[in-house]
Structure 1
Amino acid sequence: MHNLRSHHFPPPFSPPRPPAILPPLLLYNLSIHHIFLRSSFTIAVVRIPFLDSALDLATLLFISALIILSLLSLCFIFHLCFKSRTALHLQHFNSLWTVRFLLVLFVIFWSLNELLRIPTLRSTYLYPFFSTLAPFEEPHFCKIHVALSLGFFEPAFLVTLLFLVDVSIEKKTPNAFWAIAFVLATCLPMALVQVIFLFFNPFQKLRLPVPDFFVRSYVVSKSELGISMVSCAYPLLNIIMFGSFGAAYSLWFLFSCWKVLSLVINKGLRTRIYTLAATVLVPLPLQIIFMGLSNFWKPDHPAFAAVSFVAFLATLTCAAVGEGILVIKPIGDSLAAGGDACRWNREKKPAEVTDNGGKCAV
């Protein structure tokens, strides 16, 4: 009896509980919600091009602001054109509308060309589009960007700006064809040399040993996810060629500003000339220096992005101030004061002052 009491019988068998089953309607709603979240996240990742850094976002914002300013300048130019048809006192001042239009047009093209430097926009929109039209490699965008920026668009708006300053003290208004020919004759040789060294690389064909950063226009790197990314760079050889143009241009621009200041006695106009000279003669050397410094790092390095951003800001400042002083401000003064406010105030007789023809560029 004692043995029977001390014996432990196993507990009675109890079948395992079935797992909790959700109602069919709730299960359907959860599955639909899960699929919707996954599809929304996938669409957001695929279709929304996230910029790689804050500098890329800042570059995009500055480019947008400059394009808006350029469109505003075009509105001023066309408004003056329509206004001068009925106002005789504005016809002489409107004689340079073609040159001002060229200035704004080159600034817009330079701004759009700077979008090629942003890797995400380039690989998301431009490369897929052009690759469907013809066999096209993404590194070619970097070469096109350098050739157009340092070879044509930036020299073109700088030369147009100089042309407006030079003709502002002339008694006769030059022909618009002469202005276009002057800009093309100055910029096309620079663009041709840039294209030759970027796309054909004479050093490689002649088998001359040169450091890689002299001719390097891009670098291919891989992200953490293993995706190849092309980063644009400024070849040192192209920077040297643009630097020689910038040195000659700075001397010419300084001499032109000195000639204008020798004729102007109005304090407001002198302030504009000083501001214009400062925003050209200071940012242009800074741009060349910082582009040269960018060769100390590879394009995928954060320091390279910072130095390139400073060089971009220098050019953007020059373009924005040039449009404000040479396009928006004089047209606004002319419309407000009947076309006479922008003429140079010389130390001459009033009859000689009006011979300027209202071609004030500053």
Structure 2
Amino acid sequence: MPYSRFAVDALGVITIILVLILVLAGLFCILYLIYFHTKIRGQGYNQLGYFHGPWIIRIVFILFAIWWGFGEVVRLNLIRGEGRLLSAFGFRWQETVCKCYIVSSLGFAEPCLYLTVVFLLRASLQKSGTLSQKWNGKTVGYILLFCLPVFALQLVLILAGPQLEKNGLKHLPEYFTSPVKQSEDDVALCTYPLLSTFCHGLFAIMLTSYLVERICFELKGKKMHPPLTLHRHPLCADIIEEFQKCHTDHPLGKFLGQCTELKVKLDRCFRQEKAIKRKANFEQSKKLKERLQAYRKETAEMQS
């Protein structure tokens, strides 16, 4: 059921308000990131250096989001029609705006947002690297480089769409390739071509698959605590029992931090236990070495 004109305009107003909030929040975050960066460098908070390493990439992410928000405002039907902002322009000009919007949004803004999120999450999984001064610049270059094929593909689909309809894809409906729908009052309404949306979704699936694979790989590579067997860890037996009981009593809460405090205690106990065992092994090794030296000395005296 199509929406009424009032409902469409109301959604347009809400969209503009949300985009305005996005812009204001983004500008505030950019200013705060710059302030935070200056504070860290000025007062020598080296402990926060790794956390704040990708600050330029965060700013770039905000700029991509603002660019995407402006595109969403441009495509609104609220600014089209009689007496509206774009009413002075003809249908062809409005059609060109819609084409530019599709290429800008599906070919540049959204892929860059996805890529930026992937690089930020990937950086958070690394033990080092984001402290490098060149990391931010290289990452921006990689984002634009990986986005270029998607941009070119969307551009080809939009420009070649009419030709595809006339030649090879006559049997396909218009919404497969057309980014514009003409209304009764000769207004160009922006739509998402199905082919462009399909390519965009395929790109998002590829990035998501890569990110999930990287996360699984990193998690497998991390060392977990030793097997929780009481006979192997007598010094930590009480904490192990409490930890296992917590997991049994809170099957869902354990994923929400219900047993985190016990996990911290358990890790601390394992470290202390390891230190005690290391010290005991060192003492045994020292005694064995002394006995071996005494035996060699005694053997040498007997031979002489």
Query: Which residue of structure 2 lines up, in the alignment, with residue 179 of structure 1?
Result: 139
Query: Which residue of structure 1 lines up, in the alignment, with residue 183 of structure 2?
Result: 221
Tell me: CA distance 1:98–1:117, structure 2 relative to 1, closer, same or farther (3 Å): same
Mapped to 1, the partners of 2:61 and 2:143 lie a distance apart of 10
Deviation at 1:110, TM superposition (A): 0.5
Matches within 5 A, 1:98-137: 98-121=56-79, 124-125=84-85, 128=88, 137=93
Q: Does 1:203 align with 2:161?
A: no
Query: Which residue of structure 2 lines up, in the alignment, with residue 78 of structure 1?
Result: 34
Deviation at 1:221, TM superposition (A): 1.1
Query: Which residue of structure 2 lines up, in the alignment, with residue 236 of structure 1?
Result: 194
* One-letter identity of the residue aligned with 1:228: D
Contact kept? 2:165, 2:177, Cα under 8 Å: no
Deviation at 1:63, TM superposition (A): 1.6
Mapped to 2, the partners of 1:99 and 1:58 lie a distance apart of 29
Runs of 4+ in 1 over 6 A off after TM superposition: none
* One-letter identity of the residue aligned with 1:183: I
Contact kept? 2:178, 2:193, Cα under 8 Å: yes
Tell me: CA distance 1:136–1:74, structure 2 relative to 1, closer, same or farther (3 Å): farther
Q: Does 1:149 align with 2:105?
A: yes
**TM-score of the superposition, structure 1-length normalised?**
0.52
**TM-score of the superposition, structure 2-length normalised?**
0.61
Contact kept? 1:165, 1:256, Cα under 8 Å: no
Mapped to 2, the partners of 1:232 and 1:158 lie a distance apart of 23
* One-letter identity of the residue aligned with 1:211: P
Q: How many residues align?
A: 213
Deviations 1:131-173 (A, max 9, x none): 69xx961111111111111111011011101101111232122
Deviations 1:106-140 (A, max 9, x none): 11100111111212325633575xx69xx961111
Contact kept? 1:139, 1:230, Cα under 8 Å: yes
Aligned residue for 1:99, secondary structure, equals helix
Deviation at 1:79, TM superposition (A): 1.2
Q: Does 1:138 align with 2:94?
A: yes
Give RMSD over aligned pairs: 3.2
Structure 2, unmatched stretches of 5+, are 1-5, 225-254, 257-266, 272-304
Counterpart of 1:192 (choices 144, 152, 172) is 152
Matches within 5 A, 1:266-281: none
Deviations 1:253-302 (A, max 9, x none): 2233435656599xxxxxxxx99xxxxxxxxxxxxxxxxxxxxxxxxxxx
Deviations 1:48-98 (A, max 9, x none): xx9953221222222222222212221221111221231222444433111
Query: Equivalent pairs: percent with the same residue?
Result: 24
